[in-house]
Structure 1
């Protein structure tokens, strides 16, 4: 029986090896330290299973400063749960999860949340006491049909030939209806100064539940990311009115068809005009960088969702589950009501 224990300094290399072996990735030590040690909101909660001096399992709670109702508290995002293939179906995932909850409570983490894959969602709900708050709709705007046509037509010349009328049709039927003459100045930024703290204070009370987006968090999450070069644009007049965070990446659709994707990772704006102009800038940026499609999240009660539709984004059949478990009953009314939440991809560790 493996030993269940808390992380201690020196475990990093073995944890990283297990992660890379299981997920077939090449995560660096720099990335691990950035995420788990240098998080500005406290050292992460890491529960480990150890057998014969080897790490064979892990569950973590990555701390996040959250505004829940009227209070700022610490939430813990469950990420990087993993069990070595030789030790699966022996109850270790459940044991590690429950132990991570125990450790988290000792560190004043008030609730656990995650954006689980469909394969892990059932276990979270049935075995770990989690609640599915909502499934976040995913919106997509096809910008270049070439990649999609190539899925069905292997000949590159024919694929390009067939994609041309499709691209023309898309421009007609899903033409952006956003304004192209901007009221605000839209500029790219490379870091988040104190003005973003003022923006946060002006925005935060529009939703009951959301991650604290002050300059400290944004500089850590966006500017200091060791692997991703995000692009950030702000809208200003006499003051900062909003910002948008964008990500470009190569993805494989259905596991084998390479496409260039642009994602709206975060968006905070003080009014609909700033929201519209920042989304318009995102579409323009995606077009300039020749992405195949742009993607965004859009809960129905969030200001940007109707504007995404106006910009030609289509609601897909895909969605992102959002599950929560409070560690006491005092927050239940706030945590489990989806209309309380402002949720964007920046909250996950996979964007």
Structure 2
């Protein structure tokens, strides 16, 4: 019996007409229609199908432990969906299959049932580890009510604005949502000095020595990435396992947009890597952004971090993006971003939430977490 069934969640009749049940392949068309109709997706239906196939059917960590998604159905129509993307997670000395929430969507008029959909994801005790991204303060509060814990350190995001007037123009055009409800709104909440620095801040990188490093672009993740992960993973009690299998699926095989990977070598030894994903949106604003989804090095290797950040920013310049976004993965990376003229913004809620079902009575300490923008569905 699967862990999903062990958790007691099967097809459930929520009213005379609304049913909550596991996703089946015949639901895909209805789920795509729901996503395009409620999430203002920048992707076409065909592109969403490609992403869905990548998330679930091509995912090497999907084992049938949980369905691809949980759906709400009303009179044959899909009116709610929450996806469950399998990911490899390191918890202390254990390696488990966790699930990242994705594509949470509920049709207008069914929001009350959406609460049941959210609770079904978070209360699946048969899955060892759950993680989700929260779009706004209200959604975060709902997730917490169902047992999710906030990852407080994820409240801080870093931005480097390359074309300030394009960004400010896009913000002026944005009409939906209350101020403070999304990351886009929080750009408005930067201090006045920060807004001034959008225009006055130097766009280059702080000068650093090469440190005997060679940074080159790669198209796939080979055995040396497994060796790097094996060496570095003991430093991080909690992390998505960044081995070659995960990295190739997550980045090299991602079907849409543009993903560029840069690796730093000292001689023949891999010191670290960075991943830059380019897209035409910043949550819900139509501007061109580059997300630094990974900046992973041996702890304390400041030279590798700086050279990889330089490669990411050169990439952003080449792609002519409007804004570069990063998450402060470690205190060292936060310091590096600040030194190199990134602006910091902080939300009132935690965009990343988790639940540890291996030992539900204790919180996973945030100390030692390694988390990146690539771990959630924000850039899927």
TM-score (norm 1): 0.83
Instruction: Give 1:292's aligned residue.
Output: 322
Residue 378 of structure 2 corresponds to residue 350 of structure 1: yes
| Aligned CA distance change for structure 1 residues 252 and 105 (closer, same or farther; 3 Å) | closer
Distance in 2 separating the partners of 1:326 and 1:214? 22
Instruction: Give 2:35's aligned residue.
Output: 19
Counterpart secondary structure, 2:377? coil
Distance in 2 separating the partners of 1:19 and 1:149? 28
| Aligned CA distance change for structure 1 residues 38 and 83 (closer, same or farther; 3 Å) | same
CA deviation map 1:78-113 (0-9, x unaligned): 222222213222xx22322343456x544xx21222
Q: Is the 8 A contact 1:186 1:236 kept in 2?
A: yes
Distance in 2 separating the partners of 1:253 and 1:95? 25
Distance in 2 separating the partners of 1:234 and 1:216? 17
Q: Is the 8 A contact 1:61 1:79 kept in 2?
A: yes
Residue 161 of structure 2 corresponds to residue 142 of structure 1: yes
| Aligned CA distance change for structure 1 residues 105 and 296 (closer, same or farther; 3 Å) | same
Residue 22 of structure 2 corresponds to residue 6 of structure 1: yes
Counterpart secondary structure, 1:85? coil
| Aligned CA distance change for structure 1 residues 97 and 178 (closer, same or farther; 3 Å) | same
Instruction: Give 1:82's aligned residue.
Output: 105
Residue 74 of structure 2 corresponds to residue 51 of structure 1: yes
Counterpart secondary structure, 2:128? strand
Aligned residues: 328
Q: Is the 8 A contact 1:49 1:57 kept in 2?
A: yes
Counterpart secondary structure, 1:177? coil
**1:265-344 alignment runs, 5 A limit:** 265-270=293-298, 271-299=301-329, 301-318=330-347, 321-327=351-357, 329=359, 332-333=362-363, 335=364, 337-344=365-372
Q: Is the 8 A contact 1:179 1:280 kept in 2?
A: no
Q: CA deviation at 1:122?
A: 1.3
Distance in 1 separating the partners of 2:246 and 2:315? 25
Q: Which structure dedicates a bigger proportion of its chain to strand?
A: 1
Q: CA deviation at 1:225?
A: 1.1
Q: CA deviation at 1:182?
A: 5.3
Instruction: Give 1:29's aligned residue.
Output: 49
Q: Is the 8 A contact 1:178 1:280 kept in 2?
A: no
| Aligned CA distance change for structure 1 residues 197 and 254 (closer, same or farther; 3 Å) | closer
Q: CA deviation at 1:290?
A: 2.9
| Aligned CA distance change for structure 1 residues 148 and 220 (closer, same or farther; 3 Å) | closer
Instruction: Give 2:189's aligned residue.
Output: none
Counterpart secondary structure, 1:39? coil
**1:206-285 alignment runs, 5 A limit:** 206-237=235-266, 238-251=268-281, 255=285, 259-270=287-298, 271-285=301-315
TM-score (norm 2): 0.78
Point out where structure 1 has 5 or more consecutive residues left out of the alignment.
155-164
Q: CA deviation at 1:74?
A: 1.9
Distance in 1 separating the partners of 2:172 and 2:147? 47
Q: Is the 8 A contact 2:280 2:287 kept in 1?
A: yes
Distance in 1 separating the partners of 2:120 and 2:282? 36
